[in-house]
Each structure stands twice: as structure tokens, then as C-alpha cells.
Amino acid sequence: MTGIVITGASGRMGQMLIKVVEASDHAHLVGVTEREGHPWVGQDLGVAMGQSEMGVPVVSDAIEVVKDAQAIIDFTSPAASVAMAELAAQARAVHVIGTTGLSDGDLAKIKAAARHAPIVRAGNMSLGVNLLVQLTKKVAAALDEDYDIEVVEAHHRHKVDAPSGTALMLGEAAAEGRGVDLNDVKDSGRDGITGARKRGDIGFAAIRGGDVVGEHDVIFAADGERIVLRHLATDRAVFARGALKAALWGQGKGPGEYDMLDVLGL
């Protein structure tokens, strides 16, 4: 049984991850974290959730629980994930990072931590999206710049980052298929008199509202036809199941940065 720590236990993904790990025959919870000052901190997890005692502490200082863990599953905030990467590296535990909105500076710190322990990171941990990444690469490689590529995503009203991590994964896949660097062709947040679309650009658009779990379209639009590759997530369990799979897959792996394509063998 692999001992797991879940960070951000009260969050949308934290709660889903707790359910998925609790239901697993291959993993068990050794601790969960919440940010300092959160009302759950200091309580037993079961009691905090309004259920019976689980024997799992909710702590704000992750050091207390990471020492007993083989893997940490982390869907929180960029600052929290960077701090956790250092702790997980010290404990030589597998760190699964689902957090999105990471800056280049955050990514550099995560890369440094991965010199000491395995880190699996992906902006989307579902099988469906990772398959769509591969399909996007293939379609982009088959089409020339007569086909304008646009990535459109929709998420719930609470989401704080845009474009979504998934949209960026899909944009990077499209750029790779075309043999270009996304940084050179990325066009996001159009507003006002932006001028006509530049040939070869990869555009991004974000919709925020209600309780949308996560929807992504990759559109290849040419004169006379349009190809649309679409993924609709309707249940956060798809992300949580992928994250647990990554935590188990990472056991025994050497230090380094991995993604869900590695985990899923895609």
C-alpha cells in the first residue's frame, strides 16, 4: 500500500482526491494539508468533513506528514506547489502536481526539485485530454497554415488562471505538430482593435461561468471547412483517478520530470 498525502484537502480537487484514494486497494491516506489558519487544521479529516473519525490529521505544516508518505498529490496554488516540491524532494517522495498557472520561475524551481525525486506534472490528468493532446499533435502536423488553430476553453466561475493548463498543453501540442515554438505564435486575450489574425498564430479564448468542470475545443479553421477536436469533463473524478495512477506509477522511478503521457504510455 502506497502512503499518500493530499494537499489542499478542502478544495474541489482535494475532496475528490480523498474519495478516490479512500476507495483504492493500492493506496491509503497518511495525512492531508490545508493552508495555515484554515478551520480544518488541527482536526481529524473525517471530523472536519462532518463524518466519523478517520485517523488522518489535517496539518498546515506538511513536514509533519510528508515524512510518512511515498507520494504527495497536490492540486493547490503555484506558491504552495513550489514549496511542496522542495519538501517532497527532501523526503524522496513522488510529487504529483496538478496545479496550473505556474510561472516560468515556478517551473524552474520544480525542475530543480526534480533532480532529487520524481515529479509528475500535467495541466490535465485525465486519459481523455492526454489522448486529445496526441491527436492534436497529429492533426497539426498533417495540416498547413491555411488551417488557423484556435483553442477555446470553458471552466467554472471560481477558476483563477487563464488560459487553462489544459489549453496550454493543447496549444503546445499543436505548435509541436507544426514544428514551431508556442511562445512565438501564441495569441491570447484578444480585446479591442487587434488587427486581422496573423497567419500561423495559435489563438486562445477562455469562458468562465457556473459550475463547468472543464471543456476544451481545438479548432482547425480553413476556408470552407473546420475540424474540431473536443474534450468535455463532467466529473472531477477523471482528474483524481489520473493523479492517483501517476502516484502509483512513480514508485521506484528515478528523479526527473514526468508527465501523464509517460504515465499512460501514450
Ligand X SMILES: NC(=O)C1=CN([C@@H]2O[C@H](COP(=O)(O)OP(=O)(O)OC[C@H]3O[C@@H](n4cnc5c(N)ncnc54)[C@H](OP(=O)(O)O)[C@@H]3O)[C@@H](O)[C@H]2O)C=CC1
Ligand Y SMILES: O=C(O)C1=N[C@H](C(=O)O)C[C@H](O)C1
Task: Using alpha carbons only, give the angle 107, 21, 76 rounded to the nearest 5 degrees.
Answer: 30
Helix (H, G, I), strand (E, B) or coil at 200: coil
Name 6's bridge partners. 32, 73
Residue with cell 501517476: 246
Contacted entry of ligand Y, ligand X, none for residue 11, CB cut-off 5 to 8 Å set by kind: ligand X
Q: How far, in Å, CA of 94 to CA of 228, rounded?
A: 36
| Distance from C-alpha of 218 to C-alpha of 231, rounded to nearest angstrom | 9
155 binding partner (options ligand X, ligand Y, none; Cβ < 5 to 8 Å by kind): ligand Y
Burial class (CB in 10 A: 0-12, 13-18, 19+), 15: middle
Least spacing, CB of residue 71 vs ligand X, in Å: 15
Neighbours of 171 (CB within 10 A): 25
Task: Given the residues 67, 109, 138, 155, select the one marked as catalytic.
Answer: 155
Nearest to 93 by CA among 112, 66, 70: 70
166 binds ligand Y (CB under 6 A): yes
Number of residues near ligand Y (by CB under 6 A):
9
98 is an annotated ligand-binding site residue: yes
Shortest spacing between CB 107 and ligand Y, in angstroms? 15
- Active-site residue, from 159, 216, 231, 245: 159
| Contact of residue 70 among ligand X, ligand Y, none (CB under 5-8 Å per partner type) | none
35 is in an annotated binding site: yes
Residue from 3, 14, 31, 165 that binds ligand Y (CB under 6 A)?
Answer: 165
Does residue 159 carry a catalytic annotation?
A: yes
Site residues, ligand X (CB under 6 A):
7-8, 10-14, 33-35, 38, 75-77, 80, 98-101, 122-125, 165, 239
- Binding-site members for NAD(+) are 8-13, 34, 98-100, 122-125
